[in-house]
A = this chain, B = another copy of it.
Amino acid sequence: MQKLTSYAAGSWHEGTGEGAPIHDPHTGEAIATVDSTGLDFQAVLDHAHEVGGPALRAMTFGERAALLKALSAAIHEHREELIEISIKNAGSTRGDAKFDIDGATGTLAAYAHFGKSLGDATFLNDGEMEQLGRTKRFAGRHISVPRLGAALHINAFNFPAWGMCEKLACSILAGVPVIEKPGTPTALPAWRTAEIIVNSGVLPEGAYQFICGSTGDLLDRLGMQDCMAFTGSASTGAYLKGNENLVKNNVRVNIEADSLNAAVLGPEVDPDSETYALFLRNVALDMTQKTGQKCTATRRILVPAERVEEVKADLVAELGRTKVGDPSDRDNRMGPLSSPRQFEDVKDGIAKLQEVCDTACGGPEALFETGCYVAATLLVAKDPRAAIIHAEEVFGPVSTILAYDGSAEEAVELVTMGCGGLVTSAYSNDNDWTEAYVLGVAPWHGRVWLANERSAEQSLPPGMVLPQMVHGGPGRAGGGEELGGLRGLDFYMQRTAVQGFGGLLKDAFAPKEAAETGA
């Protein structure tokens, strides 16, 4: 069986332990093992600090942007191969695999684009110069410089390529070397992507390391300039964030946890409208894409009470058109859950929700004799205020309809019972209703997505995380923030106020664009 290796301190290492098996979720068979036993984690950290960091910081933003562009191309070259691997180890359909891989290369390309605009700069300017003295002779301005540490990225199993590359894009562009730890269940596509990254020779040595398996005592070794960005469950996030060393050293931590994202159908949306059709399409897509294993997937569907039956019937019909089965078969639109562990968790979760819900379609039963398959499961809450509906995230093709009175106020009340989400979506052509909904849910969400008949035709679905927009959310969603264009670099940089002689601040610490045009 294949033993997946780690790329650490300049070479590939095979673990010296037995390793943990990972599976093909279609067959349930173990196909490889991951194991980092024997790795010297201090050497990993030192390598990032002493080799990778200095090499990255010696470059301009423009030069680092060019690295991202080249990485995007290098990964894209292997697209077909990565799709096959993703089908095999993640249970992804071809469409799901593309969503992950093209998301990875697209985000790298987007950050290449953002970074190119920064040209020869080696630090960023934040805001304008401000007069502090009686005259402009004594002034202040803010700059941001790369931090001198390493970025430990602990990613989730559901997006082995995208999850790794979106964090990497921000970190590398900022000038901070990456230590990547992928989600174990889908480590094979992550490992192959890592191999492509390393073999491409694009990144300077030390700028990227890959830990396949446990990170050992690495967390206890991170220092004051290091940072840790985690995507995964809220409980693991809290466990990591509470690490004594991280707390003591003020190591920066970003947590992107899951959430019970809600889609809301406005009261006035006509059943024949494009807005309603989009609502059905997007909810069904969120439930079935990646077999519902998306942190942004819709878990709660708010529907005006009098329309619950209609929506239920339409969604059941829509879900019924999604063929489920072997992800290597191009006709299938939904594959298995990504791992035996997920399979068990999702079956348990559905059964729990059924205690307070009616089942419109699907259920907790295994769909086939082998493989990690469940049916797309639509539930209808008996009581939309039942606590478990707002707290239990079933990370699979499962969503629950909640009846509400059609008012923006009650929608806000129910949606915010989720205590913090990555994204919420609303479908309405009534601007007053929409505005009230947005301002009501905004304190609890990192992103609010709005459907409207005038943009329906070209809108990208709410579950798709775009590099231009921030990704993260308060409360249950982890309290973190990633991406958002250049905002995504802040986590890796130190903002510093510089006060002094205005003439010097203007010359030496001016925005690079201005300097280039001869100012």
Contact B242 A238 (CB under 8 A): no
A194-202, A378-386, A454-462 - interface stretch = A454-462
- Known pairs A455-B137, A455-B138, A500-B455; A225 contacts B474 (CB<8 A): yes
Contact B501 A452 (CB under 8 A): yes
List the B side residues contacting A449 at CB < 8 Å. 499-500
Cα–Cα distance between A445 and B148 once the two chains are bound (Å): 12
List the B side residues contacting A496 at CB < 8 Å. 442-443, 445-448, 470
- Known pairs A238-B247, A249-B475, A454-B501; A468 contacts B140 (CB<8 A): yes
Interface 1/0s, chain A 146-184, versus B by CB < 8 A? 111000000000000000000000000000000000000
Contact A250 B474 (CB under 8 A): yes
List the B side residues contacting A145 at CB < 8 Å. 439, 442-443
List the B side residues contacting A135 at CB < 8 Å. 458
Identify which of residues 365-424 in chain A touch chain B, using a CB-to-CB cut-off of 8 Å: 419-420
List the B side residues contacting A320 at CB < 8 Å. none
Cα–Cα distance between A450 and B255 once the two chains are bound (Å): 36
Cα–Cα distance between A450 and B505 once the two chains are bound (Å): 10
Contact A452 B140 (CB under 8 A): no
List the B side residues contacting A500 at CB < 8 Å. 434, 448-452, 455, 459
Contact B475 A495 (CB under 8 A): no
Smallest CB separation, A96 vs chain B (Å): 22
Interface 1/0s, chain A 493-519, versus B by CB < 8 A? 011111111111001110000000000
Contact A438 B132 (CB under 8 A): no
Smallest CB separation, A355 vs chain B (Å): 25
Indicate if A321 sits at the interface (CB-CB under 8 A). Answer: no
Cα–Cα distance between A419 and B224 once the two chains are bound (Å): 7
Identify which of residues 218-259 in chain A touch chain B, using a CB-to-CB cut-off of 8 Å: 224-225, 238, 241-242, 244, 247-250, 252, 255
Contact B242 A143 (CB under 8 A): no
Which residue of chain B has its CB nearest to the CB of A445? B496
Contact A494 B442 (CB under 8 A): yes
Smallest CB separation, A425 vs chain B (Å): 9
Indicate if A466 sits at the interface (CB-CB under 8 A). Answer: yes
- Known pairs A147-B474, A479-B250, A501-B450; A431 contacts B508 (CB<8 A): yes
Interface 1/0s, chain A 308-320, versus B by CB < 8 A? 0000000000000
Indicate if A59 sits at the interface (CB-CB under 8 A). Answer: no
**Which of A127, A470, A504 has the most CB atoms of chain B within a 10 A radius of its CB?**
A504
- Known pairs A434-B504, A451-B500, A452-B501; A475 contacts B443 (CB<8 A): no
Cα–Cα distance between A499 and B446 once the two chains are bound (Å): 11
List the B side residues contacting A21 at CB < 8 Å. none
- Known pairs A133-B459, A250-B255; A497 contacts B140 (CB<8 A): no
- Known pairs A419-B224, A448-B497; A434 contacts B250 (CB<8 A): no
Give this chain's copy count.
Answer: 2
Indicate if A484 sits at the interface (CB-CB under 8 A). Answer: yes
Smallest CB separation, A128 vs chain B (Å): 10
List the B side residues contacting A7 at CB < 8 Å. none
Indicate if A142 sits at the interface (CB-CB under 8 A). Answer: yes
Smallest CB separation, A234 vs chain B (Å): 8
List the B side residues contacting A142 at CB < 8 Å. 469-470, 484, 487
Cα–Cα distance between A135 and B460 once the two chains are bound (Å): 12
Cα–Cα distance between A470 and B143 once the two chains are bound (Å): 11
Smallest CB separation, A134 vs chain B (Å): 5
Indicate if A335 sits at the interface (CB-CB under 8 A). Answer: no
List the B side residues contacting A419 at CB < 8 Å. 224
Cα–Cα distance between A455 and B135 once the two chains are bound (Å): 9
Smallest CB separation, A409 vs chain B (Å): 14
Indicate if A299 sits at the interface (CB-CB under 8 A). Answer: no
Task: Taking A138-B460, A447-B496 as given, write out 17 further A-B residue pairs in contact, using a Cβ cutoff of 8 Å, ordered by the A residue number.
Answer: A130-B469, A132-B460, A133-B455, A142-B469, A145-B443, A224-B474, A242-B242, A250-B255, A431-B508, A444-B494, A448-B499, A448-B500, A449-B499, A450-B498, A452-B504, A455-B501, A470-B497
| CB pairs A–B below 8 angstroms (23 shown) | A123-B439, A126-B487, A130-B469, A138-B459, A142-B469, A142-B484, A147-B443, A148-B443, A148-B444, A224-B475, A224-B476, A241-B247, A242-B242, A242-B244, A250-B479, A443-B496, A445-B496, A447-B498, A450-B501, A451-B500, A452-B500, A452-B504, A455-B502
